[in-house]
Structure 1
Amino acid sequence: MGKLILYIATSLDGYVARSSGEVDWLFTDQDYGYEAFYETCDRLLMGRNTYEQIQSWGDYPYPDKQGFVFSQTIQQDHDDNVTFVSSDLVSFVNNLKNQDGKDIWLVGGAAIAKTCLENNLVDKFILSIHPIILGEGIALFPPPLPTLNLKLEDLQVFNTGLVQITYQVDLATPE
């Protein structure tokens, strides 16, 4: 059974992309632990907008992973590595988490992440916080969201100023 992990980059003020969807501000000068994380997953989930943005960059970058794209508008595409899903997200993710396999990467975007958070589906957060304030854009955690207690699992600081924080969801009932 795999855990659902939100592994995502964000600006210091909590945006995952500019209002236009551009992510030209992301650091690409080093790995930032991506390869090690990538090896822990065998499935990934994303929304249609994230999928279309990834496709615009060229070849699909995750051919060795089982990919699922949630969309109400795209039913099928030419990419053999991706299954398009229009069914209930919560039921689908719960079913996927109960299958044998490695962890599941919640790639994005913000809408699918919000639904997963609202339904307590995310088990772990790995946030790469870039030292930039965008001022506006697509929010990582648009309100409203339920309260969710987290436990710090890891913290890494890189020479570029990027900070990567790993939180485990704390299922203990707060006092």
Structure 2
Amino acid sequence: MRKVILFTAVSLDSYIARIQGEVDWLFTDNDYGYDDFYQSIDTTLMGHNTYQQILSWGNFPYPEKINYVFSKIHPQPYHHSISFINNAIPDFVNQLKAKPGKNIWLVGGSQINTMLLNNDLIDEMILAVHPIILGQGIPLFTQPAKVTRLDLQTSQIFARGLVQMSYRLI
């Protein structure tokens, strides 16, 4: 069965972006395992706000993947690889996990992260913790997120102080 993997960068105080979605604080000097991870997936999942933020950067960065955006509205897709899903999200993700293919990247954001966590649909988390405290912003999970135990699989410390941890959800 395919795995849903939340692969994301976070600040030390667990924010994934500033309040308006800016990620100008992220390190860009190294791929921090992104390229290898990206080759291991064939599908992305994201919420509407994350999708809009990604579009604001310019060209859609995942055109060769199958992309699902969870949204109550269905704008014209930016690219033919994008489909909008607006109902029965846990059922949809369960069906997706059962289909053949590579792993599934949960891109974010907070609301979809929390929904999938609370429905036991995240299998692994790879968190790149940046050495910065933002103080406020968009959290990794919204409230209420259920108590979930994690098993540390790997950790790596990079020269600039970024720590990347890979967890399996128990």
- Does the alignment reach a TM-score above 0.5? yes
Query: C-alpha offsets along residues 6-53 of structure 1, whole Å, 9 cap, x if unaligned?
Result: 001100001011111111111111110000001110101001111111
Structure 1 position 107, deviation (Å):
0.2
Q: 1:78 and 1:21 mapped to 2: Cα distance?
A: 19
Q: 1:36 and 1:4 mapped to 2: Cα distance?
A: 16
- TM-score, normalisation: structure 1: 0.94
Unmatched segments (≥5 aa) in structure 1:
171-175
Structure 1 position 148, deviation (Å):
1.1
| 8 Å contact kept, 1:114–1:141 | yes
Query: C-alpha offsets along residues 89-124 of structure 1, whole Å, 9 cap, x if unaligned?
Result: 101100000100110000001110010011010000
| 8 Å contact kept, 2:6–2:122 | yes
| 8 Å contact kept, 2:10–2:140 | yes
Q: 1:137 and 1:61 mapped to 2: Cα distance?
A: 23
Q: Which runs of 4+ in 1 moved over 4 A?
A: none
| 8 Å contact kept, 1:76–1:83 | no
Counterpart residue number, 2:124:
124
Instruction: Report % sequence identity.
Output: 51
Please state if 1:68 is matched with 2:88: no
Query: C-alpha offsets along residues 142-174 of structure 1, whole Å, 9 cap, x if unaligned?
Result: 22221211111000100010000000112xxxx
Structure 1 position 74, deviation (Å):
2.2
| 8 Å contact kept, 2:90–2:116 | yes
| 8 Å contact kept, 1:75–1:85 | no
Structure 1 position 75, deviation (Å):
4.5
What does 1:1-175 align with in structure 2 at a 5 Å threshold?
A: 1-170=1-170
Counterpart residue number, 1:173:
none
Give the paired residue count.
170
Q: 1:59 and 1:78 mapped to 2: Cα distance?
A: 9
- TM-score, normalisation: structure 2: 0.97
Query: C-alpha offsets along residues 59-110 of structure 1, whole Å, 9 cap, x if unaligned?
Result: 1111111000010012432411111111211011000001001100000011
Unmatched segments (≥5 aa) in structure 2:
none
Query: C-alpha offsets along residues 118-140 of structure 1, whole Å, 9 cap, x if unaligned?
Result: 10100000000000000001111
